[in-house]
C-alpha cells in the first residue's frame, strides 16, 4: 500500500481511508488485490496495469505446508461394504434386549463361542434372505442414545447408514421416540421401525403405525416408504425378518468403499484404560492395518493392537468394521475423524498444527447462530431457512407456539421446527440444535445442569420467553432479516456545471454551483438534457484551493469525476448513495 501511495502521489493515510470506505481493512505494509488497486488508481486519475512475471520468477520457496488430502476413489476400486446400523428409541422400549437377541443370531458367534468383550459396536454375519448359502455382514453401533449420535453428527460425522427406530407396541410413541426420529431425520438417514413387545397382551402395533404416520413415517403396507417389522425379543419372533429387511435395505442403498487405500473413519467411543488411551473406531474407507500411523484430532500414534468385539486381536480391519485401537498418545473425542498418514513425523506435525488451530478456534469461537447474526450466517450458507428447537412447560403451550410459528407466512424464507417437546432444555436439545445449526426457544421452562456450558461449547443460542407474542415477534423479525435487503438509490444533492477549467497537468475541472442538498465525495452521475451520460466516482471536490469533504447548497466548488473528461457547461452533477433497505415478510 505504501508503494501505491507514492506512485499516485498522495499521503498514505488517505489511501487507508479510501480502503476503509471500500470495506477493506489493511495496513501500509500489506498488499491488496488487483481490482481494489485499480479502483484506487482510477480515483486519483491513474490507469492501473498488471504486469505478469515470467513463470517461476520471483518465487519465494517457503516451507511446504503439509495438507491432508482425501483422495477421490476411482469407480473401479469401489466394492460393496456392509451397512452400519444404529438402534434408537425411547428408554425401556426393548433396545438392549433386541440387541442381545440380534447378537445371539450371529452365525459366526455361535462357532466362536459368543462375545466376551463389548466395544460399543459389533459386527455379525447373517444368511442372505435370497441367497441362503451366502453370509451377509451387518455392523451395529451400540451408542448410548441420542446424545452420542448428535455429538457425532454435530462434528459432521454421519457414520450411520440405517437407523432402526424401536417403539414398544404396548406403549406407542413416546417423547424420546419423537426425539430419536427427529435426530434420524436431521441426519437424512433411512429409517426402519422395529415394533417391539408384540407378545404382550396390551400390544397394539396398528396404533404405532398410526402415530408414526402423523410424524411422516408411512408404512409400506399403507403405501409409504418406511419398513415396519413387528418383533418380540422375548419370544424371538420377527428377528430374522428384521435382519433380512436390513440386508435388503443395504443392497438398495448400494453402499460401496475402496478397500485398497489408507484407512479413514470415525471414533465411536474412547477412554483411558490401564494399558493407555483406547479408541473404538469405525473404518469408513480403506483398510486399517496393524502398525499403521494414525492421526485423530490433535492425537496420533502407531496402532499397537486392533481388538474386535470378541476380544480377538486382528491384523487388519476393512470398511464398516469397528475395532478398538491401542497406541494413540491421548484420548480423542467421539465423532472425530481419524486417518492413516505416511509416517510419524507427518502425524506429529499435523497434530501440532491442529492443536494450535484448536487453541485459536477456542479463543475466537462465538455462537454459531444467533437471532442477531442470523443474516451473515445464512448469507454464507445461501439457504433461507430458520431452524428452531422449541421446549415449553405444557403440551398446550408448545402446540400453540409451533402453530403460531408455522403461520408466519413467507414465500422467500422458510421456518423448520427441528424438534418440539414438553420439559426442561437438555444437553440433547443443545446437540440437536448444534448439528442442525439452529436456535433453541424455551417458554416458561428452565435449563438442566450442564446445559449453559454445553451451549457455550457448541455455540448454540438459547432464548427463553415468558410471553408468547415476544417469541413470535422475534422469530418474525429474524426471518425478515434473512431476506436480502433491497438496494435503494438516494440523491444527496446536485450541482450545475458553470465553467470548465483545463489543468496544466492534464485533465479538466468543472466549476459548479450547488443547487440543492449537498455534494459529497462518493458516487456521482452526470446528467445532460435529463439523460444520465456517465456514472462514476466523485474524484476531487475543492472549495477554492482546499480539498473538502462536502459543499452545501448555494456554494461554488470545483469537481472532477473519475474516468470522464467530456464534461460540459450546463451539465448537472448528482451525488448519491446506495442504501440497503430491510425487506418485510
Domain ranges for the chain, please list them: 2-43, 80-256, 264-364, 374-482, 486-581
Exposure of 120 in the CB half-sphere (CA atoms within 13 A) = 22
Q: Which CATH superfamily is domain 486-581 in?
A: Translation factors (2.40.30.10)
Confidence at residue 380, expressed as pLDDT on a 0 to 100 scale: 53
Confidence at residue 438, expressed as pLDDT on a 0 to 100 scale: 87
Confidence at residue 526, expressed as pLDDT on a 0 to 100 scale: 92
Residue 270 · residue 296 · CB < 8 Å: no
Confidence at residue 69, expressed as pLDDT on a 0 to 100 scale: 42
Residue 43 · residue 539 · CB < 8 Å: yes
CA dist 545 and 482 (Å) reads 48
Q: How many Cβ atoms are within 10 Å of 314's Cβ, its own excluded?
A: 16
CA dist 313 and 328 (Å) reads 17
Confidence at residue 58, expressed as pLDDT on a 0 to 100 scale: 40
Buried b / exposed e along 396-425 (16+ C-beta atoms within 10 A)? ebbeebeeebeebebeebebebbbbbbeeb
Largest CA distance in the chain: 104
CA dist 281 and 325 (Å) reads 7
Residue 137 · residue 417 · CB < 8 Å: no
CA dist 552 and 514 (Å) reads 7
Give per-residue pLDDT as tens, 410-426: 666 778 888 888 889 99
C-alpha cell, 301: 500414534
Same fold, 374-482 and 486-581: no
Give per-residue pLDDT as tens, 555-578: 999 998 888 888 899 999 999 998
CA dist 548 and 512 (Å) reads 14
C-alpha cell, 555: 456554494
CA dist 198 and 239 (Å) reads 12
CA dist 156 and 147 (Å) reads 14
Kind plus residue range of the DSSP H or E element containing 214:
helix 205-214
Q: Which CATH class is domain 80-256?
A: alpha beta
CA 3 centroid distance within chain: 41
C-alpha cell, 549: 469533504
Grouping H, G, I as helix, E, B as strand and the rest as coil, residue 255 is coil
Strand 572-581 relative to strand 523-528: parallel, antiparallel, unpaired? antiparallel
CA dist 546 and 538 (Å) reads 16
Confidence at residue 66, expressed as pLDDT on a 0 to 100 scale: 41
Kind plus residue range of the DSSP H or E element containing 539:
strand 531-543
Residue 94 · residue 166 · CB < 8 Å: yes
Give strand pairing partners of 572: 496, 527
CATH code that applies to domain 374-482: 3.40.50.10050
CA dist 171 and 169 (Å) reads 6
CA dist 159 and 267 (Å) reads 10
Considering only CA atoms, which of 163, 131, 129, 126 is closest in space to residue 146? 163
Residue 53 · residue 131 · CB < 8 Å: no
Q: How many Cβ atoms are within 10 Å of 2's Cβ, its own excluded?
A: 12
CA dist 495 and 87 (Å) reads 74
CA dist 442 and 424 (Å) reads 8
CATH code that applies to domain 264-364: 2.40.30.10
DSSP structural state of residue 257:
E
Does the pTM exceed 0.75?
no
Residues of the chain with pLDDT under 70: 1, 23, 25-30, 50-72, 91-93, 105-120, 142-158, 359-384, 410-412, 481-484, 582-585
CA dist 335 and 154 (Å) reads 8
CA dist 94 and 100 (Å) reads 10
C-alpha cell, 493: 444533492
Residue 298 · residue 358 · CB < 8 Å: yes
CA dist 246 and 161 (Å) reads 10
39: Cβ contacts below 8 Å, ≥ 6 apart: 22
Amino acid at each position: 500500500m505504501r508503494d501505491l501511495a507514492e506512485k499516485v502521489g498522495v499521503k498514505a493515510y488517505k489511501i487507508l481511508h479510501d480502503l476503509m470506505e471500500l470495506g477493506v481493512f489493511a495496513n501500509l505494509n500489506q498488499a491488496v488485490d488487483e481490482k481494489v488497486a485499480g479502483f484506487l488508481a482510477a480515483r486519483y486519475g491513474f490507469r492501473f496495469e498488471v504486469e505478469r512475471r515470467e513463470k517461476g520468477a520471483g518465487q519465494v520457496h517457503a516451507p511446504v505446508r503439509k495438507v491432508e488430502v482425501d483422495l477421490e476413489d476411482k469407480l473401479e476400486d469401489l466394492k460393496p461394504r456392509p451397512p452400519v446400523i444404529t438402534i434408537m428409541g425411547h428408554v425401556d422400549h426393548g433396545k438392549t434386549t433386541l440387541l442381545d437377541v440380534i447378537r445371539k443370531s450371529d452365525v459366526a458367534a455361535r462357532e466362536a463361542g459368543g462375545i466376551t468383550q463389548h466395544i460399543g459396536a459389533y459386527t455379525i454375519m447373517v444368511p442372505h434372505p435370497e441367497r441362503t448359502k451366502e453370509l451377509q455382514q451387518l455392523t451395529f453401533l451400540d451408542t448410548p442414545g441420542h446424545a452420542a449420535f448428535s455429538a457425532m453428527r454435530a462434528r459432521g460425522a454421519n457414520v450411520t447408514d440405517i437407523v432402526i427406530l424401536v417403539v414398544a407396541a404396548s406403549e406407542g410413541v413416546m417423547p424420546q421416540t419423537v426425539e430419536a426420529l427427529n435426530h434420524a431425520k436431521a441426519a437424512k438417514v433411512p429409517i426402519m421401525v422395529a415394533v417391539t413387545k408384540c407378545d404382550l397382551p396390551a400390544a397394539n402395533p396398528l396404533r404405532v403405525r398410526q402415530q408414526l404416520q402423523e410424524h411422516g413415517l408411512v408404512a409400506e403396507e399403507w403405501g409409504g416408504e418406511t419398513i415396519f417389522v413387528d418383533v418380540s425379543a422375548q419370544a424371538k419372533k420377527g428377528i430374522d425378518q428384521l435382519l433380512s429387511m436390513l440386508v435388503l435395505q443395504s443392497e438398495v442403498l448400494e453402499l460401496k468403499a475402496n478397500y485398497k487405500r489408507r484407512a479413514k473413519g470415525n471414533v465411536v467411543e474412547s477412554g483411558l484404560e490401564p494399558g493407555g488411551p483406547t479408541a473404538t473406531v469405525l473404518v469408513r474407507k480403506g483398510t486399517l492395518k496393524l502398525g499403521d500411523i494414525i492421526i485423530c484430532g490433535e492425537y496420533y500414534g502407531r496402532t499397537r493392537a486392533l481388538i474386535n468385539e470378541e476380544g480377538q486381536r486382528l491384523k487388519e480391519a476393512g470398511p464398516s468394521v469397528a475395532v478398538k485401537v491401542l497406541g494413540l498418545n491421548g484420548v480423542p473425542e467421539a465423532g472425530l475423524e481419524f486417518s492413516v498418514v505416511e509416517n510419524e513425523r507427518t502425524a506429529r506435525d499435523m497434530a501440532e498444527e491442529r492443536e494450535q488451530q484448536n487453541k485459536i478456534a477456542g479463543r475466537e469461537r462465538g455462537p454459531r447462530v444467533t437471532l442477531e447474526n442470523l443474516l451473515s450466517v445464512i448469507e454464507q450458507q445461501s439457504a433461507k431457512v430458520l431452524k428452531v428447537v422449541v421446549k415449553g412447560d405444557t403440551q398446550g403451550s408448545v402446540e400453540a407456539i409451533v402453530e403460531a410459528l408455522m403461520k408466519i407466512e413467507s414465500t422467500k424464507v422458510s421456518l423448520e421446527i427441528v424438534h418440539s417437546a414438553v420439559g426442561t432444555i437438555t444437553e440433547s436439545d443443545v446437540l440437536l440444535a448444534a448439528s442442525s445449526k439452529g436456535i433453541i426457544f424455551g417458554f416458561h421452562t428452565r435449563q438442566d445442569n450442564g446445559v449453559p456450558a454445553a451451549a457455550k461449547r457448541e455455540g448454540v443460542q438459547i432464548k427463553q420467553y415468558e410471553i408468547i407474542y415476544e417469541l413470535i415477534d422475534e422469530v418474525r423479525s429474524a426471518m425478515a432479516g434473512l431476506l436480502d435487503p433491497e438496494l435503494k438509490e438516494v440523491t444527496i444533492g446536485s450541482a450545475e456545471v458553470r465553467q470548465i477549467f483545463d489543468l496544466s497537468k492534464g485533465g479538466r475541472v468543472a466549476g459548479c454551483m450547488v443547487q440543492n442538498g449537498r455534494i459529497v465525495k462518493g458516487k456521482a452521475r452526470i446528467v445532460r438534457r435529463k439523460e444520465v451520460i456517465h456514472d462514476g466516482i466523485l474524484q476531487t471536490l475543492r472549495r477554492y484551493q482546499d480539498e473538502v469533504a462536502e459543499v452545501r447548497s448555494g456554494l461554488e466548488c470545483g469537481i472532477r469525476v473519475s474516468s470522464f473528461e467530456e464534461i460540459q457547461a450546463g451539465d448537472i452533477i448528482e451525488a448519491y448513495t446506495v442504501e440497503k433497505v430491510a425487506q418485510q415478510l
